[in-house]
Structure 1
Amino acid sequence: MASTCSLQQHGRAPASINLHHKQQRSCSPRISVMVGNRNVMLLQGFIYNNNVSKRRPTAGLVVKCSGIGLGDFIGGDLVKFDIGQWLSDVEEHKALAIYPPHEGGYEGRYLNRLIRQGYYFLDLSARGLGDPETTLTKVHPVCPAHLGKQPIARWYFPPEVDFRLEHLPPNAKGLVVWIIEAKVLSKAELQFLALLPTLRPNVRVVAECGNWRKFVWKPLKEIAGLTAEGA
């Protein structure tokens, strides 16, 4: 308190305090964000010219970016015009390997379009799936968790694909086996999934085999190393 009063009485502050105030006024908080594929710099408070001494106040935040397009206002990468190609590839190849972006949300558009076409879905995770051929097309055993207190039991379940094919409504177009985290599957397991539509004509397979910066898909036979002659 005494030091503060003495400064006010003399009307003079130490050089370190003046320097501190100058540094606070000369810097402007900047926030860097991402809008689509472009970096946007938000300047808060003041816009500085080449000469630091000249500045003018701004109201709120000022957004500077270049290359603004229509996609920045209506959804960016979510707006695509490849739905027709997606539907034709599902019907032509019948087994696809997809690579959605890491942030997710893109594959839902393509899934919903297949639902509108009349397809029903069987969602599975590749982790813990076991042998795809046994789980999807054969009667397979399942051992429930016993928690160390109950005796180890073994239950038998019907084939996942055949069971759902039998219970499809008459107006259904087919069954789509959508497998997430398919990147953990071996090459032999991917080959069986690629051949599953041949064994069950009303089945389509979509396997999430990885991630990419945009939503892309390829025939699963190419990923599994199968050729058209070998299939």
Structure 2
Amino acid sequence: MASTCSLQQHGRVPASINLHHKQQRSCSPRISVMVGNRNVMLLQGFIYNNNVSKRRPTAGLVVRCSGIGLGDFIGGDLVKFDIGQWLSDVEEHKALAIYPPHEGGYEGRYLNRLIRQGYYFLDLSARGLGDPETTLTKVHPVCPAHLGKQPIARWYFPPEVDFRLEHLPPDAKGLVVWIIEAKVLSKAELQFLALLPTLRPNVRVVAECGNWRKFVWKPLKEIAGLTAEGA
């Protein structure tokens, strides 16, 4: 230190010493970053750089979390704490709009629980379904793909829902119509699906109307714009 002061008095301070002091003054000891509900405090150490060596001390990290529950730490994909609410909402509303995560797989936990309750399933895709009322509750025509100069044929199939209701086992609790890609359906088609349990009391409807960060659901009547009085 004494040698440095003497060099400064005589005006002969090396460039490396000035650079070292400038880096120490420019280093910020603490940086605060906001990430959602988490405050991440990064404690940044001093960095010493020159042409010969490079030293980077380990930074301390303190994470503060808020707005999370026990389910975020224990069994995120296995233990579902809302299974009881799921079963009660299926029985109460009878038609639900679900929003599973994009990666998929989570809805299978809730589907398996309905199977354990005694429900049987009819899996359909909204793409190519046609008119839901005609396909599910009426005798409907189906035109198979024709090749080349073959004549265009038309086959008639029984109602998808009524046909399966007639062949349910005696101990079955009911039939769940699980429709994937229901986000392509119109509002009128969603309204019919919301009213289908009223027309067929042993039928429950689950429609995948979109995606969300976690598995959530709402009554299908709310999504379709139907009120309790209008239903």
Cα root mean square deviation, aligned = 8.1
Confirm or deny: 8 A CA contact 1:36 1:72 kept in the other structure.
Answer: no
Q: Which residue of 2 aligns with 1:184?
A: 184
Gaps of 5+ in 1: none
Quote the offset at 1:147 in angstroms. 2.0
Confirm or deny: 8 A CA contact 1:43 1:63 kept in the other structure.
Answer: no
Structure 1 window deviating more from structure 2 (210-219 vs 38-47): it is 38-47
Distance in 1 (alpha carbons) for counterparts of 2:132 and 2:2: 81
Quote the offset at 1:131 in angstroms. 0.1
Q: Report Cα offsets for 1:3-56 as digits up to 9, x if no partner.
A: 999999999999999999999999999999999999999999999999995769
State the TM-score, normalized to the length of structure 2: 0.71
1:49–1:74 distance in 2 versus 1, CA, 3 Å: farther
Other structure's SS at 1:134 match: helix
The within-5 A match list for 1:44-59 is: 53=53
Gaps of 5+ in 2: none
Distance in 2 (alpha carbons) for counterparts of 1:70 and 1:141: 51
Sequence identity (%)? 99
Distance in 1 (alpha carbons) for counterparts of 2:20 and 2:14: 10
How many aligned positions are there? Answer: 231
Other structure's SS at 2:20 match: helix
Structure 1 window deviating more from structure 2 (6-15 vs 214-223): it is 6-15
Confirm or deny: 8 A CA contact 2:24 2:46 kept in the other structure.
Answer: no
Other structure's SS at 2:73 match: helix
Q: Report Cα offsets for 1:70-92 as digits up to 9, x if no partner.
A: 76775425532000000000000
State the TM-score, normalized to the length of structure 1: 0.71
Confirm or deny: 8 A CA contact 2:23 2:48 kept in the other structure.
Answer: no
Distance in 2 (alpha carbons) for counterparts of 1:70 and 1:17: 53
Q: Which residue of 1 aligns with 2:38?
A: 38
Quote the offset at 1:109 in angstroms. 0.3
1:153–1:78 distance in 2 versus 1, CA, 3 Å: same
Which aligned runs of 4 or more in structure 1 are off by greater than 4 angstroms? 1-74
1:9–1:17 distance in 2 versus 1, CA, 3 Å: same
Other structure's SS at 1:58 match: coil
Q: Which residue of 1 aligns with 2:213?
A: 213
Confirm or deny: 8 A CA contact 1:71 1:77 kept in the other structure.
Answer: no
Structure 1 window deviating more from structure 2 (9-18 vs 31-40): it is 9-18
Quote the offset at 1:185 in angstroms. 0.3
Larger radius of gyration: 2
1:133–1:72 distance in 2 versus 1, CA, 3 Å: closer
1:160–1:46 distance in 2 versus 1, CA, 3 Å: farther
Distance in 2 (alpha carbons) for counterparts of 1:225 and 1:61: 48
Distance in 2 (alpha carbons) for counterparts of 1:226 and 1:43: 54
1:12–1:222 distance in 2 versus 1, CA, 3 Å: same
1:51–1:33 distance in 2 versus 1, CA, 3 Å: farther
Confirm or deny: 8 A CA contact 2:125 2:182 kept in the other structure.
Answer: yes
1:2–1:85 distance in 2 versus 1, CA, 3 Å: closer
Quote the offset at 1:150 in angstroms. 1.8
